[in-house]
Structure 1
């Protein structure tokens, strides 16, 4: 198998002449790929570090976002960076036979794992908001980790076939011999695989996301208050006038927090649909054409859309999530450093669901929402005196005594 990294000239008599990419194409493709991939790699690494190093950021939803960040990193490094050498060497493959197999495998693994991660956090959001009672047991940190492991195991096994379908080939021209990373069999034999990928990792996730986010929107944006498991428990009892206003404020803050998180995740899904559409459409159209449409500039556009989809998510988190923005600033030492203090719980907040983990990890989904409520209470009610307890057991006793 040819592993040479240089073009070899020959005295063949073939009619086809090999021509290098234009200078304009090389400059545009290299600069844009370096810019997008550089920003994306830095951003996704920051997402992973923020969630792993910040205790209150370790929530089920953020675990899925870490999985998505790892998949995006895989796409940017395995698909984006080789595009630079391809432009430099005029389409010549410089990574050899082993590189062809491994890079092709990692490309499809990252692409499929990112789609599955998006589907996973969409389902998690639906259960957490539309079925809050079940969410206490289903949307937990430990279950999210198990689902992520399962996703990566299944996608890894599914993508193993690319080790057997990829190969390096020599394309002989009149003036050169070009080594490329291509497929072993003809394009027609790949149609079932392409359509399977198109259906399982693009169409089905988008249809599912459309339905589930529609149901979520009905709960969050049409109902006056969010669905909360604790509210159903206290519907039988009238709230006292002393705590009525504070509880209404807390519920409103929780609703606003859930709306913001849902909007952010919905934007991620929408961009996934839009930015993957050119490439997916091209694959489907070429499947029905006798000669595939392979315009160089349009292929570059499709590739850049894919790289942009993998690079833009951290920017969305920073723009739409106050928690991520504060965590990013803290990671970069751009904001004031505040020492972590043991959590305190005010009497007004003791009715919220609090789930502790035995291994010192962050509480689950509902616990983290107390941070938003507590922060909003400090801003909106700075003069209000609160009775705080460092131990949650004392807070519970006070609540029972006041009931």
Structure 2
């Protein structure tokens, strides 16, 4: 049993550190390239920044505490239990709302291209994002009243855990509310709207030279269907990954609502957690693979970062050759 526990713990720590490390770095890069590059500030990219920040919160509040929980039980105290749980659900729910928002924006941009010139603006996107964060922040405050720390006394010490202060029958309706608002409804909306988008694009096939130009489109809301082809495919992939990677955990919650005792297989729980972390980490990789503009922006950001580091490293060496530091010689 001890060998099994150590083996599982090592796998959990390794996978969590790998996925969270890649995800944190990638999502920070998404935020930086959009904020630091003027032509990248588009309505769609504003939603992607919101999604990146939400994913960062998930990785920091859910992923990293999982590492310490494996090796030392709960070490963050009562306040940490409340805040970390709140941030986990805040990140998860904002991520879902951001996906829904850019799906609707894509639909308007392609299926109502004339209206889109007035509706799909950066300022409107920022207002929508602010509304999403305010609504979700208020909605998630209920978790401050639903969780608590629990101390179990053993002969060799006290084990502290962060869990629910209410019974299973009381918090299950809340899980189903979350399941409906932030998983089922977004997927229904995405399925319907991307179906309408595909229908529009299929009914009006584009010349090959316009398809080529679409790959280098600016991504702004200009009302031209071909301009949105490349980014629409990319965002559809993001939605599909969201649906697939959240499915194991969401299915587990639904199944456990109807069976007693609940299904708590250790390896399947680990698989569900890793799927959630992967969902928050994979989007920057998708952008890099499917968007030329993001790929170029990522490369420029990396070159800029390493160029600054090399300049800082070489600067003292150049100075030391010309002029000794003060107080020497």
TM-score category, normalised to shorter length: 0.7 to 0.9
C-alpha separation in 1, matches of 2:177 and 2:121? 31
Kindly provide the CA deviation profile for residues 340-379 of structure 1, in whole angstroms up to 9, marking residues without a partner as x: xxxxxxxxxxxxxxxxxxxxxxxxxxxxxxxxxxxxxxxx
Partner residue of 2:91 out of 110, 116, 119: 110
Q: What does residue 155 of structure 1 align with?
A: 136
C-alpha separation in 2, matches of 1:259 and 1:109? 31
Q: What does residue 274 of structure 1 align with?
A: 244
Q: How many residues align?
A: 296
Q: What does residue 218 of structure 2 align with?
A: none
Kindly provide the CA deviation profile for residues 98-128 of structure 1, in whole angstroms up to 9, marking residues without a partner as x: 0000000000000000000000000000000
Deviation at 1:21, TM superposition (A): 6.8
C-alpha separation in 2, matches of 1:291 and 1:279? 17
Q: Do the aligned partners of 2:31 and 2:52 also contact (CA within 8 Å) in 1? A: yes
C-alpha separation in 2, matches of 1:84 and 1:132? 47
Deviation at 1:297, TM superposition (A): 1.5
Q: Max radius of gyration: which structure?
A: 1
Q: What does residue 111 of structure 2 align with?
A: 130
Q: What does residue 61 of structure 1 align with?
A: 44
Partner residue of 1:46 out of 29, 32, 36: 29
Deviation at 1:334, TM superposition (A): 7.7
Change in 2 beyond 3 A, CA 1:251/1:81: closer
Q: Do the aligned partners of 1:101 and 1:162 also contact (CA within 8 Å) in 2? A: yes
Change in 2 beyond 3 A, CA 1:93/1:21: farther
Which of the two has greater helix per residue?
Answer: 2
Q: What does residue 323 of structure 1 align with?
A: 293
Partner residue of 2:74 out of 93, 96, 117: 93
C-alpha separation in 1, matches of 2:120 and 2:242? 24
Partner residue of 1:308 out of 232, 257, 278: 278
Deviation at 1:327, TM superposition (A): 0.3
Which SS does the other structure have where 1:167 is aligned? Answer: strand
Q: What does residue 324 of structure 2 align with?
A: none
Q: Do the aligned partners of 1:36 and 1:308 also contact (CA within 8 Å) in 2? A: yes
Q: What does residue 189 of structure 1 align with?
A: 170
Deviation at 1:177, TM superposition (A): 3.0
Structure 2: gaps of 5 or more residues: 215-224, 308-329
Kindly provide the CA deviation profile for residues 11-36 of structure 1, in whole angstroms up to 9, marking residues without a partner as x: xxxxxxx9897110111000100000
Q: What does residue 32 of structure 1 align with?
A: 15
TM-score of the superposed pair, with normalisation by structure 2: 0.86
C-alpha separation in 2, matches of 1:221 and 1:103? 45
Q: What does residue 394 of structure 1 align with?
A: none
Structure 1: gaps of 5 or more residues: 1-17, 227-247, 338-403
Change in 2 beyond 3 A, CA 1:249/1:257: same
C-alpha separation in 2, matches of 1:225 and 1:31? 46
C-alpha separation in 1, matches of 2:111 and 2:75? 51
TM-score of the superposed pair, with normalisation by structure 1: 0.70
RMSD: 2.1
Partner residue of 2:121 out of 136, 140, 144: 140
Which SS does the other structure have where 2:303 is aligned? Answer: coil
Q: Do the aligned partners of 1:68 and 1:117 also contact (CA within 8 Å) in 2? A: yes
